[in-house]
Structure formats: C-alpha cells, structure tokens
Amino acid sequence: MAQRTVVVASASGLHARPAKLFVQAAVKVGVPVTIRAGEKSVPAKSMLGVLSLGAVHGTEVTLEADGPGADEALDTLAALLSRDLDAEEALDG
Amino acid sequence: MRDGLLDPRAVLLHESAADRDAAIRRCGQALVDVGAVAPSYVEAMLERERTISTYVGEGVAIPHGTAASKEDVERDAICVVRFPGGVDWDGEPVTLCVGIAAAGDGHVPLLAALADILLDPDRARTLREATEVSQVIKELS
C-alpha cells in the first residue's frame, strides 16, 4: 500500500472548488485512491465522501492506493493538495 | 452544526426555477433576505457556477460565491432551497440547493454534516423530500 501524507493548502480547505478539482483529478488518475482524515477514509473520487471529511486549510490527510500506477497517482494528487487552489482561481477562471 | 448558520427563514421548500441560473438567484436572494450577504454576492454565485459546477451528487447542488466575493459576506450562513419540480443543472437533475455564504471556514463542518447525510440514502431522501422546515433543521443539526 503506497501512501502520501499532505497538509491541505487551499485557503478555503477541501470543499467547494478545491474539492471539485481534487475529485476530477482522482477520477482521471485511473487508480482507486482513498483519502483519510483522522479516522475517516473515503474514495477520493467521491465528491460527497471528500466533503464529508470536513478538511480545512491545514488539515493533514493521507492518500492511499495499491497496484500499478499507485505511486504516480498519489504523487499527482498529493501535489494538487499541496497547492492553494483558491489562489489559482484567477488563472483558470 | 454551528448555531445560527441556518436561519429557518432561509429554508424554502416549495420553489420552482426555470433554469440553473434562476435557481441560483433564488438561493442568493434567500441569503440576502436573512442579511447574510450583500446583493452583489448573487452575481458572484452565478460567476462561480460558470467556472465550475457546484453539483455534488444525489440531486444536490451547493451554490456559493467566488473567493473574491468574500467581502460581500456579512456573516457565514446557509440556505436550503428545494425545487420539487427539479432543475436541469448542466444535465443533472437537481431538487435541492444548499446555498452557502462563507467568509471563513465556519461552514465546513456543516458541509461535512450535509455530505454525511447525503451519503446515507434514507436521510438523503428525507432531506430531498422534506415538506416541513423543522425536518430540514432537524436533519442538519
């Protein structure tokens, strides 16, 4: 089981727009990834699951995946969480 | 859920909207009416929706403003607006909108609670089919 632990960097936490971008990316990596905050673990491609974590700016989350492509998938998603996706709003909005 | 985020007057259960933008305007107006946001926040909600859909699944959308519109927020609040006839949300049928006004992250625990409810099919149905304001307040408390 490959793992990455990252701190949510987006100013508004992992909901709304940052959550949407994360979920879209999780679908795209093509490897089942789970995201865990505290005791709670949910599929990374479930918007409702990700929202239910209630992760705010600074919350530590752990990404987990298995099998071929797991490391690349986790690197991609961990990098996304490490960026302030709210601050990038003006760039792609 | 933090007290005071959901004003019973911001729970509207028998609304109708011709399209997505009309539904968002209705949600925005509900937030304006309880004094949570300035009227300009409604335009920011429409702008956000054009950037990225706030549809979250289970027939529910959570419209809210852009990061730049935070100064239009007087206080963190949500509204719950039900559209029994459904609204076409970029191809997804939406029957419940939870509009959000947030300057900080006080609404995040509430969103998490909402997501937990929606992940439970029975509770999601109760919320989508609610006919009494008290049912909605109870589910979200």
User: Closest partner residue to B105 among A17, A56, A93, by Cβ?
Assistant: A56
Q: What is the mean pLDDT of chain A?
A: 91
Task: Give catalytic residues of A, as residue numbers.
Answer: 15
Cβ of A57 within 8 Å of Cβ of B105? The answer is yes
pLDDT at B2: 59
Domain range holding B98?
Answer: 6-139
Q: What is the ipTM of this complex?
A: 0.79
| Structural domains of chain A in order of their starting residue, each with its CATH number | 2-86 (3.30.1340.10)
Per residue in A12-52, pLDDT (tens digit) is 788 778 898 999 999 999 999 999 999 999 999 999 999 99
**What is the pLDDT, as a whole number, of residue B67?**
78
Mean pLDDT value of segment B119-141 = 89
pTM of the full predicted structure? Answer: 0.84
Structure tokens, B26: 């209705």
Is B56 among the domain residues? Answer: yes
How far is Cα B69 from Cα A47, in angstroms, rounded to an integer?
24
Residue B52 lies inside a defined structural domain of this protein: yes
Does residue B88 lie within any of the structural domains?
yes
Q: What CATH number has the domain bearing residue B13? A: 3.40.930.10
Q: Which residues pair with B115 in a beta bridge?
A: none
Query: Could you tell me if residue B1 is inside a domain?
Result: no
Per-residue pLDDT at A92 exceeds 50: no
In a domain, B38, yes or no: yes
B73's enclosing H/E stretch is none
Tokens of A31: 């490897």
Indicate yes or no: CB of A47 within 8 angstroms of CB of B66: no
Cβ pairs bridging A and B (under 8 Å):
58
Residue A56 distance to chain B (closest CA, Å): 7
Residues of chain B in contact with residue A49, where contact means CB-CB under 8 angstroms, are: 115, 119
Q: Which amino acid would we find at residue A50?
A: V
CB contact (8 A) between residue B115 and residue A93: no
Residues A76-80: contacts with CB under 8 Å, at least 24 apart: A76/A25, A76/A29, A77/A4, A77/A22, A77/A25, A77/A26, A77/A29, A77/A33, A77/A44, A78/A4, A78/A6, A80/A21, A80/A22, A80/A25
Q: H-helix or E-strand containing A90?
A: helix A89-92
CA dihedral B22, B1, B125, A45 (to 10 degrees): 80
Give me the DSSP letters along A10-53. Answer: -TT-SSHHHHHHHHHHHHHT-S-EEEEETTEEEETT-HHHHHHT
In a domain, B47, yes or no: yes
Tens of pLDDT, residue by residue over B62-119, are 999 987 888 999 998 999 999 999 999 999 999 999 999 988 777 777 788 889 989 9
What is the per-residue pLDDT across A42-88, written as a single tens digit (0 to 9) for each? 999 999 999 999 999 999 999 999 999 999 999 999 999 999 987 77
Quick check: is B34 in a domain? Answer: yes
Q: What's the structural domain count of chain B?
A: 1
Residue A91 in this model has a pLDDT that exceeds 60:
no
Q: Are B87 and B20 in contact (CB under 8 A)?
A: yes
Strands B6-12 and B77-89: parallel
